[in-house]
């Protein structure tokens, strides 16, 4: 959410991290396997817990302390403290070489899924946690090790006023309609139609979250686990990355992508100087705030699905944000689990932030009202084979969850890097398929 930027780890650095993490895994003190079960009686739960978070803004402005005060109305004997960490991924992976990495934490991307039992207490079985979205993301051997803080839908956040001035009032149904809409924005408003956020980089990873939207396929991510040529014609990644390439190739993005700035981009979209960005629905409230600061209205900000349809409907993938886990070394597992359950189910955080609750039965947030009203099909993208896909991705040195390959895609589109789109995709497919033959073996 607010501190959405994550540290992108190179393959070499990641490998070093995992060697370090694996080396420290043996000293668990016999706690591995102990279930962090939900407490039966809130008044019997006591102790102090430390919660690690990347949301330094919510620590500094007192928001999390206010949540803790509400939590204490149910759990009066638990003291909750927060540790806001700016470089969350970098700092926490270092702490995990010790036993001191908090009681509750978000699972860092550097920790391999198969190593979850070494570092985190199981929260229950897959069946026991089936009321939550995305539980398969942290499932190892039938046990779940993390509960999503929230989920997010993916799409384009856009300035409605600009698109309407360009004469586009209905969501594009095809990529060509979308490109035509961007052309109209450029010609009729003078605004930058699309903003890549190339320099900060991490927003380019948001494109990966579209996996599944072309075929409305919840298994699209799992389908990458093999020598499947993921960028071949007709594939999900061919469609999504191909659209990004065309946006840049046709001159519909900023003139110099190397000078982009994430914080500035929010103001530019709110002011109506840029029209569109690919982001998760977590960004909507931030853009609305930026629009209001610019003297406009929150109503100026819209959110549109990826411009393809399946059986006459748009589709939107729901994907997990960080997963909340309980440290295997925590001395107050009942209190830690109480916080995770309460924050997920009772705090109202997801509703307030305008994101998708991890609780399946919860309604969609107001930020996605247009999606609900226009009958967009939501699906939870399965991550059951994430570990296998990540192994291939790392071995291929592509980085589906890093910015580098899409930065090269953009450089190719704007003529800074040599080659064609077909060559670019063919190289990715070759590396992926070769890696799939050896990864995990």
What is the predicted pLDDT for the residue at 384? 86
Asked whether residue 337 falls in the same domain as residue 393, the answer is no
**Contact by Cβ (8 Å): 57, 85:** no
Task: Give me the residues paired with residue 157 across strands.
Answer: 277, 303
Residue 73 has pLDDT above 80, yes or no: yes
Residue 353 lies in a domain: no
Mean pLDDT check: name the lowest of 99-113, 148-162, 247-261: 99-113
Q: Is residue 4 part of a domain?
A: no
Digit-coded pLDDT (tens) for 103-140: 999 999 878 888 999 999 999 999 999 999 998 889 99
- Does any domain span residue 240? yes
What does the angle CA 90 – CA 221 – CA 123 come to, to the nearest 5 degrees?
A: 60
Is residue 142 domain-shared with residue 269, that is, in the same domain?
no
- Which two structure tokens, joined as six digits, stand for 394? 């790392």
Domain containing residue 386: CATH number: 3.40.190.10
SS3 79: strand
pLDDT, residue 386, reads 86
Write the CB contacts of 235 (distance below 8 Å, at least 6 apart in sequence): 229
Q: What is the pLDDT of residue 8?
A: 31
Q: Give the relative orientation of helices 88-95 and 11-23 as an angle to the nearest 10 degrees.
A: 30
Output the pLDDT for position 14: 31
Q: Are residues 162 and 221 in the same domain?
A: yes
Residue 144 in domain:
yes
State residue 244's pLDDT score.
98
Q: Are 197 and 339 in contact (CB under 8 A)?
A: no
Asked if residue 17 has pLDDT above 70, the reply is: no
Supply the DSSP string of 305-372, one letter for each residue: --S--BTTB-EEEEEE-PEEEEBTT-S-HHHHHHHHHHHHHTS-HHHHHT-B-SBTTSPPPGGGHHHH
Same-domain status, 278 and 329: no
Q: Name beta bridge partners: 192.
A: 274
Work out how many domains the chain is built from and give that number: 2
| Whether pLDDT at 21 is above 90 | no
In a domain, 219, yes or no: yes
34 and 168 both lie in a single domain: no
Nearest to 333 by CA among 22, 130, 33: 33
413 exposure class (CB count in 10 Å sphere: 0-12, 13-18, 19+): buried
CB 293 within 8 A of CB 165: no
**Verdict on whether the full-model pTM lies above 0.85:** no
Are 59 and 81 within one domain?
yes
> Band of the pLDDT at 10, cuts 50, 70, 90?
very low
Tell me what the pLDDT averaged over the chain comes to.
Answer: 90
Same domain, 268 and 400: yes
Is a pLDDT exceeding 60 seen at residue 368? yes
User: pLDDT tier at 216 (50, 70, 90 boundaries)?
Assistant: very high
pLDDT at 20 over 50: no
Query: Which pLDDT belongs to residue 157?
Result: 97
* Residue 23 within a domain: yes
Residue 281's alpha-carbon distances to 247, 320, 355, in angstroms, are 21, 12, 7
What's the rounded Cα separation, in Å, for the pair 93 and 102?
12
Q: For residue 25, name the pLDDT band (cuts at 50, 70, 90).
A: very low
Q: Based on the domain organization, do 339 and 391 belong to the same domain?
A: no
- Confidence label for 440 from pLDDT (cuts 50, 70 and 90): low
Residue 269 covered by a domain: yes
Q: Outline where 96-235 has alpha helix (H).
A: 116-119, 160-165, 175-189, 202-205
In a domain, 283, yes or no: yes
User: For a pLDDT cut of 90, what percent of the chain falls above it?
Assistant: 80
Contact 158, 302 (CB under 8 A): yes
For every residue of 81-133, DSSP letters joined together read EEEE-TTHHHHHHHHTTSS-S-SEEEPPTTS-GGGHHHHB---EETTTTTTBT
Looking at the fold, whether 108 and 219 belong to one and the same domain comes out as: no
Residue the block writes with tokens 């799992």: 222
Q: Are residues 377 and 410 in the same domain?
A: yes
Give the residue numbers spanning the domain of 23: 11-149+323-347
Q: Which two tokens stand for residue 51?
A: 């919660």
The SS3 of residue 104 is strand
Residue whose C-alpha is closest to residue 93's, from 13, 32, 161: 13
Same domain, 335 and 314: no
* Same domain for 307 and 219: yes
Least confident of 2-6, 211-215, 222-226, 278-282: 2-6
Q: How much is the pLDDT for 35?
A: 81
Contact between 199 and 263 (Cβ < 8 Å): no
């Amino acid at each position: 959410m607010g501190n959405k930027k994550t540290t992108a780890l190179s393959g070499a650095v990641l490998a070093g991290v995992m060697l370090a993490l694996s080396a420290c895994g043996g000293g668990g003190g016999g706690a591995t396997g102990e279930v962090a079960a939900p407490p039966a009686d809130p008044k019997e739960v006591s102790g102090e817990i430390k919660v690690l978070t990347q949301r330094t803004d919510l620590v500094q402005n007192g928001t999390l302390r206010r949540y803790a005060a509400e939590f204490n109305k149910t759990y009066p004997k638990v003291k909750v403290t927060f540790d806001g960490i700016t470089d969350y991924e970098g700092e926490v992976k270092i702490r995990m070489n010790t036993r001191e990495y908090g009681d509750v934490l978000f699972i860092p991307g550097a920790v391999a899924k198969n190593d979850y039992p070494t570092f985190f207490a199981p929260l229950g079985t897959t069946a026991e946690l089936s009321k939550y979205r995305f539980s398969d993301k942290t499932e190892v051997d039938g046990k779940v090790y993390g509960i999503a803080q929230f989920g997010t839908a993916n799409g384009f956040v856009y300035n409605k006023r600009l698109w309407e001035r360009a004469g586009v009032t209905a969501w594009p149904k095809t990529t060509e309609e979308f490109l035509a809409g961007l052309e109209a924005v450029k010609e009729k408003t003078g605004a930058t139609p699309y903003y890549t956020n190339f320099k900060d980089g991490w927003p380019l990873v948001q494109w990966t979250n579209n996996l599944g939207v072309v075929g409305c396929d919840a298994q699209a991510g799992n389908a990458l686990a093999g020598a499947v040529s993921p960028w071949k014609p007709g594939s999900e990644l061919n469609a999504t990355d191909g659209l990004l390439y065309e946006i840049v190739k046709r001159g519909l993005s900023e003139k110099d992508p190397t000078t982009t700035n994430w914080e500035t981009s929010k103001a530019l979209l709110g002011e109506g100087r840029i029209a569109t960005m690919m982001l998760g629905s977590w960004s909507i409230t931030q853009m609305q705030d930026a629009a209001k600061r610019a003297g406009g209205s929150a109503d100026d900000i819209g959110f549109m699905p990826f411009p393809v349809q399946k059986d006459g409907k748009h589709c939107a993938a729901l994907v997990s944000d960080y997963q909340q886990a309980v440290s295997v070394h925590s001395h107050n597992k009942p209190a830690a689990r109480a916080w995770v359950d309460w924050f997920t189910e009772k705090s109202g955080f997801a509703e307030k932030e305008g994101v998708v609750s991890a609780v399946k039965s919860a309604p969609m947030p107001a930020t996605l009202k247009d999606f609900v009203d226009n009958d967009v099909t939501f699906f939870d993208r399965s991550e059951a084979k994430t570990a296998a896909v990540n192994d291939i991705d790392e071995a291929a040195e592509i980085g589906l969850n890093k910015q580098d390959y899409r930065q090269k895609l953009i450089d190719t589109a704007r003529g800074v890097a040599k080659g064609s789109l077909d060559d670019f995709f063919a190289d990715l497919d070759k590396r992926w398929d070769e890696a799939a033959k050896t990864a995990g073996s």
